Structure 1
């Protein structure tokens, strides 16, 4: 297992991060225990979750993923100090979570205490802001005319970010979190938080996790360049494009129990003709390389300069084993050349 430093922190994390958003809907507690046991025994020390999980989010299952992990930690207390555990505070938009309120100093204090209790731990290694308070170009809003920066009150946004940083600083001083990070944010968000951290003398964010895959690479090179230059770990989530890159949704297939059979909060915006056409090409490349489509996508993600650790998820230990094996694969120059040709043809398929 390869380990990399997590941004400017002193933490060494495995190049594979176990994503857990299926725990509670697609996976039972027993399933979760089996995945956690296998991942940790294999050498993965990096686990990502969120108070909003499982996905798709709903009031009935709210925070069950943290509860599942907390139940496992209660039975594996000796392993806690060897793990790097991340969770996230949800932003506005979900009425059943703090009445849909924005992230703030006050909501951080409340949400963090609740997460610590559910997780059965005294501290979180990395506490993340799940998404910005402002509207940002994520979840299909990166297409032209989906957002308008003039709609944001910039000074109000900065004031809100100062309030957040103060809350983060208080949590660090209290020992409830060791470090903090961003999620679903932009270069402006990164640099504004960096400036505010210097202004308020609060430790800077050590990581950011954004959606990144062969079908969604808007962060490369500009945001990833910012991360490398500012010593912030870049953590891709959904490197398989919610399973699309495995090929299981080709020809309008919907395997029983798969993610696309559930109602999606943002809709199936990845389900486009261009995305399926690009995926078909990647399936052909994987066949020629004699690896699975999932392994092609994950091995590609790993080799992108600036990627610190890739967040992978699975609904079975068999899928988890297949995905983990991808990180022992080195793509040939010919395979990478074939991939580049598809990228040029389908640069933004969803």
Structure 2
């Protein structure tokens, strides 16, 4: 396993981050335990979760994944120091989470305490804002006209961000969190937080996790360059585009129990003709280079300059082993060139 620094934190994290959002719906406590044990045995030291999980999110299951991780930690307390544990506070919009309210200083403090209780730990290594208070161009809103940036009050947004940072600072000083990060944000969000940190001597955002894959690479090059220049770790989530890059949804297939058979809060917006055409191209390339389609997509993601650690997820042990193995052997220059040819034909398939 290879390791990279988590931005300006200086902490070393594995190039593979174990995602957990299926634990509690598609995976049981025992299956989650098995995944954690296997990942750790392979050198993975980075686990990502959120108060929102499992996904699809619901009031009934809210916090369930953190509880599952907490149960494992309670039985392996001596191993807590070996794990870089990340969680997130949900942004606005879900009625069953703080009545759908925006993130505030008060809600940060409350969410940290609630996560620590569910996780059965005294601290979280990385506490992230799951999505910003303002509408951001994520979750299929990246097309021109989907977000009207000129309608936002930048000073108002900045004031809210300062309040959030001040609350995070209090949690850092209390020893409840070590570092702070972003998710589903933009260059403006990154840079505004960095500016506020410098102006007010507050914690620096050390990372950002955004959706990034062969089918959704909109963060390259501008946001990723921003991360490299400012020493902010870039953590891709959904590197298999919700599983579609595995090839399992080709030709109208809908495997029983798969993600697309479950209710989707934002609809199955990745399901487009261009998505399937691009995926078919990558599946054929994977055959040529004698790896699985998932391994091709994950290895590509790992080799993008500026990527720190790729967040993977699996609903069974076979897929987890396949996915972790993808990071062991880099793709050849010939393979990368072939991938780029397909990518140029389908740069924005959904």
TM bin, normalised by shorter chain, reads: over 0.9
Deviation at 1:293, TM superposition (A): 0.1
The equivalent residue for 2:106 is 106
Aligned: 1:146 with 2:114: no
Tell me the SS of whatever aligns to 1:61: coil
**Where does residue 30 of structure 1 map in the other structure?**
30
The count of corresponding residues between Structure 1 and Structure 2 is 350
SS in 2 for 1:296: helix
- Residue 327 of structure 1 corresponds to 327
2:260 equivalent in structure 1? 260
SS in 2 for 1:54: coil
Task: Give me the whole-angstrom Cα distance separating, in 2, the residues matched to 1:318 and 1:178.
Answer: 33
Other structure's SS at 2:327 match = helix
- Alpha-carbon distance in 1 for matches of 2:34, 2:82: 18
Deviations 1:226-260 (A, max 9, x none): 00000010000000001000000111211011111
Q: Within 2, Cα distance between the matches of 1:228 and 1:162?
A: 23
Q: Find the residue that maps to 1:58 and give its secondary structure.
A: coil
Matched residue SS, 1:327:
coil
1:9 aligned partner: 9
List runs of 5+ in structure 2 lacking aligned partners: none
Instruction: Give the corresponding residue for 1:46.
Output: 46
Indicate the SS of the match to 2:326: helix
Tell me how far 1:317 sits from its aligned partner: 1.0
CA distance in 2, matches of 1:222, 1:252: 35
The CA deviation string for residues 45-103 of structure 1, in whole angstroms up to 9 with x for no partner, is: 00000000001101111110000000000011111011100000001110000111111
For 1:1-350, what aligned pairs fall within 5 Å after superposition? 1-350=1-350
**1-structure distance, mates of 2:342, 2:325:** 24
Task: Report the Cα distance in structure 2 between the residues aligned to 1:193 and 1:246, rounded to whole angstroms.
Answer: 36
How much does 1:262 deviate? 0.3
Residues 195-246 of structure 1: CA distance to partner in whole angstroms, max 9, x if unpaired?
1111110121110000000000000111000000000100000000010000
Q: Which moved more, 1:327-336 or 1:49-58?
A: 327-336
> Residue 17 of structure 1: SS of its match in structure 2?
strand
- 2: CA distance, partners of 1:203 / 1:138: 25
Partners of 2:4 and 2:341 in 1: CA distance: 30
| Displacement after TM superposition at 1:137 (Å) | 0.3
Matches of 1:50 and 1:252, distance apart in 2:
32
Deviation of residue 157 (structure 1)? 0.5
CA distance in 2, matches of 1:125, 1:3: 16
Flag structure 1 segments of 5+ consecutive residues without an equivalent.
none
CA distance in 2, matches of 1:215, 1:176: 37
Instruction: Give SS of 1:207's match.
Output: strand
SS at match of 1:4: strand
What's the offset of the Cα at 1:145? Answer: 1.1
**How far apart are residue 343 of structure 1 and its match?**
1.1
TM-score by length of 1: 0.99
- Cα distance in 1 for residues equivalent to 2:6 and 2:344: 31
CA distance in 2, matches of 1:334, 1:264: 37
Return structure 1 stretches of 4+ with deviation > 4 angstroms: none
